[in-house]
Amino acid sequence: MRSSARVMLFASAAMLSCVAGSTALAIDAFNFTVTQSTSSVTYNFGVNAPFTGSLLGENDPLKPATEQTRTKRFATFFSCGAFGAAQNDPVNISGAVVAAGNNSSGTPAVRPTGTFKLGINPAANTCVLQDFDANLVASGAIGFVASLNSFTYQSFCTVNPSCSAPFLFAIPSLEVGSVSVTALRAVQAPATPASGTLTPGAPNTWTFTVPVTLTVTPTITLNGGTIASDPQVVPAIVTGTITRSGNTATITASTSIDASPPANTTPTALPAAPLTIPPTSPLCPGINVITTLTLTSQTVTTTSTIAINGSGPQIVCPCDPDGSGTTTVADIFEYLNRWFSGDPRADINGGGLQVSDIFDFLNCWFSPPLGC
């Protein structure tokens, strides 16, 4: 039975030699890993998130009673009135969380990690970029000061320390903590190659330019709560130089990303967070309160320039078993010889030598992946 199957398969391969054409044009492809220590990111971030919420005296039981800030809303338009023995009223507040930061001076240094594939075809002066996936802030979270802008509040007063705060006008800016960018992913859709141009330079060296579409997703927190930001699909152009040395290659490349998505309008409740009003503030300096904010919308913008250095091995084509550098009908005969002789190299899907390997090989041969 196995002998009959062998005859049929080889006969089918012979028929393919009549209809499949002579060769598939080879592309040498490399699987690159970003070298984090020598790669860098220059960024400019902005966050704007209108909010509603409340502030409440901290009333910390671990402090002496004389040090526990408590809050009370005005009893009348002009007066707070007397505090109850343990009175601590929530005070309605509103405004916008605003934060911005950059490292245009190079500080702090931000280093990315990631992987991608680049295929080159020097004969046709073309190249292909595939599976680009990078975290642009992999070296650690970056942070910048957040403020409550256009801060409005109910008229209130406090004890410990004593303060009266009738609402007269919005506070332009009140520092509230820090915004942290913990991740910034830039990802090309899997198995969706982007084609570009290749220009020869020095021996075994080429420059390249590839227009590509990336999905950019930031992860941003404020005082431990997440600020929602929808992924945005953005165009980018990756340029650089690739140098080949045998079965490996090195690469230097750069690209810029400009993401300005529409506001995310899903309300987001942040965890309650302590706040000490700064001594220079016009609003009751030195009081200790707890803020509870709900962001009614969130807008996050980022502009980043990435400088990438990387290296990687050549991708071995699984459907070029004769190693000619091109996929031809001869590869089918070579593969079938391996399969029928029990050669472990015919196990191309890693599941043990099975009939499914033949189908996987033929799928690869008819639709060669990058590197074939």
Domain residue ranges in the chain: 23-315, 322-372
Q: For residues 197 and 372, which has the higher predicted lDDT (pLDDT)?
A: 197
Better pLDDT: 108 or 1: 108
Model pTM score: 0.81
Would you call 22 exposed, middle or buried from its count of C-beta atoms within 10 A (0-12, 13-18, 19+)?
exposed
Q: How far apart are CA 151 and CA 173, in angstroms?
A: 7
Question: pLDDT digit string (tens) for 280-308?
Answer: 888 999 999 999 999 999 999 999 999 99
Per-residue pLDDT reduced to its tens digit, 133-183: 999 999 999 999 999 999 999 999 999 999 999 998 899 999 888 899 999
Cα–Cα distance between 200 and 114 in angstroms, integer? 26
Highest mean pLDDT, choosing among 27-31, 53-57, 331-335: 53-57
To the nearest whole number, what is the mean pLDDT of the chain? 89
Across the range 68-82, mean pLDDT stands at 88
pLDDT at 26 over 70: no
Residue 105 has pLDDT above 70, yes or no: yes
3-state percent breakdown (helix, strand, coil) of the chain, nearest 5:
15, 50, 35
How confident is the model at residue 255, as a pLDDT? 97
Comparison of pLDDT for 367 and 341, the residue scoring more? 341
* 20 or 335, greater pLDDT: 335
The whole-angstrom separation of Cα 248 and Cα 116 is 14
> What pLDDT is recorded for position 22?
43
- Give the Cα separation of 324 and 365 in Å (integer): 14
pLDDT band with cut points at 50, 70 and 90 for residue 11: very low
Nearest by Cα to 115 from 99, 98, 100, 133: 133
Q: In angstroms, rounded to a whole number, what is the distance separating the alpha carbons of residues 25 and 372?
A: 8
Instruction: Report which of 53, 169, 39, 42 is spatially closest to residue 115, judged by C-alpha positions.
Output: 39
Contact by Cβ (8 Å): 243, 275? no
Q: How far is CA 262 from CA 118, 212, 228, 230, 298, in A?
A: 32, 21, 12, 8, 9
Question: What count of Cα atoms within 13 Å lies in the side-chain half-sphere of residue 325?
Answer: 6
